[in-house]
Amino acid sequence: MTFITFEGIEGSGKTTQIHLLMDWLHQRTDRALLTREPGGTSIGEQVRAILLNPINTEMTPEAEILLFSAARAQIVREVIRPRLADGWIVVCDRFADSTLAYQGYGHGLPLDDLLGITEFATGGLWPDLTVYLDLDVETGLRRKAATPEEWNRMEAKEVAFHKRVRQGYQALAAQNPQRWLVLDATQPVEVIQKQIRERVAAIVGGQ
């Protein structure tokens, strides 16, 4: 059982890298699952729609963290834990570290409170490996602007917010270097993927 998460600011190329990794994993095992946060369950997808709807401008940061955590509590118990218990490799597009980076460092909510809420939501589950695609904010937002249909409520926030999120990710990674694989997201796609596969192979090799 191996739990792998991907983190990064908007435009970091997370989705591309995750799909390349899943192609590779599926060639090696029929027990690899991709899921995403917020979402990944029926309840989670409904919560996601509330969170990302641009109409919800009045949403407070406190309401936001509780909605993210509600979706997380559901996916951990409905999907992630049962699959891990059955020996699957579970890959999640964002997880609890997104809350610490976005709601904590980004919005300035107290990290201790966020950790408490997150531990409650996850039941103490943390990833075995977190792949973090590090990128400067201007490049990330420029990449995203190329696909305006993906623009959503979260991405409309100011550049300064995203800069705090990036600093948050870097701080989290520095605190736990064994769990975090930090990669320069400006490298070519194949170069990044090769580094991810090497690390994942080292973890799941014996599985």
Q: Which of these, 45, 100, 113, lies nearest to 74 by C-alpha position?
A: 45
Q: Which is nearer to ligand TYD, 83 or 162 (CB)?
A: 162
Closest CA to 114 of 167, 157, 64, 45: 64
Closest CB to ligand TYD among 136 and 155?
A: 155
102: contact with ligand TYD by CB under 6 A: yes
Question: Least separation, in Å, of the C-beta of 201 and ligand TYD?
Answer: 25
Q: CB of 142: closest distance to ligand TYD in angstroms?
A: 14
Query: Quick one: which of 5, 41, 74, 99 contacts ligand TYD (CB under 6 A)?
Result: 99
Nearest distance from C-beta of residue 98 to ligand TYD, angstroms:
3
Tell me how far, at minimum, the Cβ of 30 lies from ligand TYD, in Å.
26
Per CB under 6 A, does 74 bind ligand TYD? no
At 88, which amino acid appears? Answer: W
What's the length of the chain? 207
| Footprint (CB under 6 A) of ligand TYD, residues 52-71 | 52, 68
From the list 17, 35, 38, 91, which residue makes contact with ligand TYD (rule: CB under 6 A)?
Answer: 38
Task: Candidates 77-85, 95-103, 125-133, 197-205: pick the segment binding ligand TYD (CB under 6 A).
Answer: 95-103
Task: Report the residue number, 72 or 83, with the smaller CB distance to ligand TYD.
Answer: 72
Determine whether 175 is exposed, middle or buried from the number of CB atoms within 10 Å of its CB (0-12, 13-18, 19+): exposed
Mark out the alpha helices in the chain (DSSP H runs). Answer: 14-28, 42-52, 61-75, 81-85, 96-98, 111-122, 137-145, 159-175, 189-204
Q: Which of 183, 179, 207 is nearest to 95 (CA)?
A: 179
Which single residue is written with the structure tokens 């610490």? 100
> Site for ligand TYD (CB under 6 A): how many residues?
15
- Residue 10 binds ligand TYD, judged by CB under 6 A: yes
Look at the alpha carbons of 17, 18, 19, 24 in this order and tell me if their dihedral is positive or negative: positive
Residue 115 CB: number of other CB atoms within 10 A? Answer: 14
Please, which residue, 88 or 106, has the CB nearer to ligand TYD?
106
- Interface residue list for ligand TYD (CB under 6 A): 10, 15, 37-38, 52, 68, 93-94, 98-99, 102-103, 152, 154-155
